[in-house]
Amino acid sequence: MAQVALKNLTKTYPGGISAVSAIDLDIGDGELFVLVGPSGSGKSTLLRLIAGLETPTTGGLWIGGSRADELAPADRDVAMVFQTPALYPHLSVSENLAFGLRARRFPKTEIGKRVTAVAARLGLDELLNRRPATLSGGQRQRVALGRAIVREPRAFLLDEPFSSLDAPLRAAMRAELIDLHRKLGTTMIHVTHDQAEAMAMGDRIAVMDQGRVVQVGTPLEVYHHPASRFVARFIGSPPMNILPCAVEWSNESARIQVMDTPSESAWTAELGSYWTKSLRNRKPTRVDLGVRPEQIALANGESAEPGRLNASAEVRRLEPLGHETIATLDLGPHPLSLRISPGTAIRVGDQVPIRIDPNHAAWFDAETGLVLQ
Ligand SMILES: Nc1ncnc2c1ncn2[C@@H]1O[C@H](COP(=O)(O)OP(=O)(O)OP(=O)(O)O)[C@@H](O)[C@H]1O
């Protein structure tokens, strides 16, 4: 087991392509840490730097407290699992599992013991004599994972290991990996572009964008307190709604109006109230209001509440998911997603009253997109 520390780690490819820039991360001993971000954000490059498959342009890397960036990949004692399992086609499952240990000249009895234990743990017992070509995608990925586990490395580096599997199998493998992590207690760094996978798996997650880590935190910290508009839109499905607002300041209060909507979709906030703290210091005239779909309520038949955004919106689309329905509304020119219970009697084209509680909203700088604090 090992802590992994990255300090100011940067990788610039020939031609000036900045794949990762100035990354500082401290991954705890035994942590299941997830790197998540859109395609091209630098996740794989960061993992390959840790594995030693790329050399950093600047910065340093420590594994288990020792400087590791000068070490050859084989000497780092980390095991990487790739998106496409790279198994030896001419070897059986058993021989594939044993391969790394044989190369390191482990005694035969020890190899046999470890292969048997890992095969039992991953449900590969029945497949030990089969060749990779005769296995399903999920079974092959399990063998690749098993090959990493038999080595008992200090850390696992997992680069989108389930992305080629179909959705139910991906969900099952994800659950297996969480169980496995709990049993082994080994540090795991898992890369995915799927925010739901990151939320479900990570003790902590690092959100990456354009080669930078833009936020690190527990899944719920990142969900409830996104550091920027980008994170707010990337984490969560449907994503956080963003409403551009104009703000008029007076001595005691601020009048906040969602842009390009009728004046009834404006509300006045006392400057002393909790939620204006983030706005008070700067007094911006434009802010972006961020609100999660579950924080918008349909205000059927209730009278408008002061201190809330009360507005009227048109139902554009309804997506019934069984346990809930995702409704997309138009608030003037702004689309809004909200979660409603399946039995709610609204139809496409209806005009419905909605209510937003600003106490549960996030406020972003309209220009930089950074959260206002
Ligand atoms: N060997 C390379 N040479 C030049 N540029 C590269 C190389 N590998 C990656 N890049 C570039 O570095 C950036 C980051 O790529 P990387 O593969 O790390 O992103 P990613 O977040 O893992 O993306 P994906 O989810 O699509 O795999 C991209 O702009 C990519 O084009």
pLDDT tens column, 82-141: 988 889 999 999 999 999 999 889 999 999 999 999 999 888 999 999 999 999 988 999
> Tell me, what DSSP letter sits at residue 322?
S
The pLDDT assigned to 281 comes to 76
Which atom from ligand 1 is nearest to the alpha carbon of 191? 22
**Separation of CA 117 and ligand 1 centre (Å):** 36
For residues 102 and 122, give the distance between their C-alpha atoms in angstroms, rounded to a whole number.
20
Report pLDDT for 259: 93
Q: What is the pLDDT of residue 108?
A: 94
Is ipTM strictly over 0.95? yes
In the reported structure, the alpha carbon of residue 57 is separated from the centroid of ligand 1 by a whole-number distance in angstroms of: 15
* Token output for 275: 């939620």
Query: Which ligand 1 atom is the nearest neighbour of the CA of 46?
Result: 18
> Which protein residue has the closest C-alpha to ligand 1 atom 18?
42
User: Ligand 1: which of 12, 13, 23, 191 to mutate, judged by most atoms within 8 Å of the beta carbon?
Assistant: 13
- Residue 208: predicted pLDDT: 98
For ligand 1, atom 11, the nearest C-alpha belongs to: 19
Centre of ligand 1 to C-alpha 345, Å, is 47
CATH of 4-233, one of 3.40.50.620, 3.40.50.300, 3.30.1330.60, 3.60.20.10: 3.40.50.300
The stretch 314-335 carries a mean pLDDT of 95
Distance 352 CA to ligand 1 centre (A): 45
Helical residues (DSSP H) of 156-303, grouped into ranges = 167-184, 195-201, 219-224, 229-234, 277-280
- Cα–Cα distance measured from residue 115 to residue 19, given in angstroms and rounded to the nearest whole number: 37
Query: Which pLDDT value is given to residue 165?
Result: 81
Question: Fold match between 4-233 and 241-300+307-365?
Answer: no
pLDDT given at position 85: 84
Give me ligand 1 centre to Cα 4, in Å.
22
* CB-based pocket (< 6 A), ligand 1: 13, 17, 19, 37, 39-45, 193
Give 52-100 as a DSSP string. TSS--SEEEEEETTEE-TTS-GGGS-EEEE-SS----TTS-HHHHHHHH
pLDDT of amino acid 172: 85
Q: Which of 34, 45, 189 for mutating ligand 1's site (highest number of atoms within 8 Å of CB)?
A: 45
Residue minimizing CA distance to atom 24 of ligand 1 = 39
Dump pLDDT digits (tens) for 246-303.
999 887 788 889 999 887 777 877 776 656 676 777 788 999 999 999 999 898 766 6
pLDDT for 276 equals 64
Ligand 1 centroid to Cα of residue 41, in Å, is 7
- What pTM, to 2 d.p., does this model score? 0.92
Q: What angle do CA 167, 171, 174 make, to 5 degrees?
A: 135
In a 3-state reduction of DSSP, which class is residue 169? Answer: helix
DSSP conformational letter for 13: E
Q: Where is pLDDT greater, at 7 or 372?
A: 7
Place 359 in a pLDDT band, splitting at 50, 70 and 90.
Answer: confident
Instruction: Provide CB contacts within 8 A for 258, sequence distance 6+.
Output: 243, 244, 245, 265, 266, 289, 309, 311, 331, 332, 334
Q: CA-CA distance, 50 to 44, in Å (whole number)? A: 10
The pLDDT value recorded for residue 303 is 67
Residue nearest to atom 30 of ligand 1 (CA): 40
On the question of pLDDT at 148 being above 70, the answer is: yes
**Per-residue pLDDT reduced to its tens digit, 167-220:** 888 888 889 899 989 999 999 999 999 999 999 999 999 999 999 999 999 999
Q: What is the mean pLDDT of the chain?
A: 91
From 9, 17, 162, give the residue whose CB has the most ligand 1 atoms within 8 Å, as the site to mutate: 17
Kindly give the distance from the C-alpha atom of residue 88 to the centroid of ligand 1, in angstroms, as a whole number. 26
**What is the pLDDT averaged over residues 52-73?**
94
Closest residue by Cα to atom 13, ligand 1, is: 19
Give residue limits of the domains in the chain. 4-233, 241-300+307-365
**pLDDT (tens digit per residue) in 213-237:** 999 999 999 999 999 999 999 999 9
Does CATH number 3.40.50.1370 belong to domain 241-300+307-365? Answer: no
Ligand 1, atom 3: closest residue by C-alpha:
13
Q: What number is the average pLDDT over the span 146-153?
A: 92
For atom 8 of ligand 1, the residue with the nearest CA is 45
Query: What distance in angstroms lies between residue 19's CA and the mean position of ligand 1's atoms?
Result: 6
Give the whole-angstrom CA distance, residue 133 versus residue 130. Answer: 8
Given its phi and psi angles, is residue 242 left (phi above 0), alpha (psi -120 to 50 degrees) or beta?
Answer: beta
- Please give the distance, rounded to the nearest whole angstrom, from the Cα atom of residue 124 to the centre of ligand 1: 33
3-state helix vs strand vs coil in the chain, percent to 5: 30, 35, 35
N-to-C CA span, the chain: 37
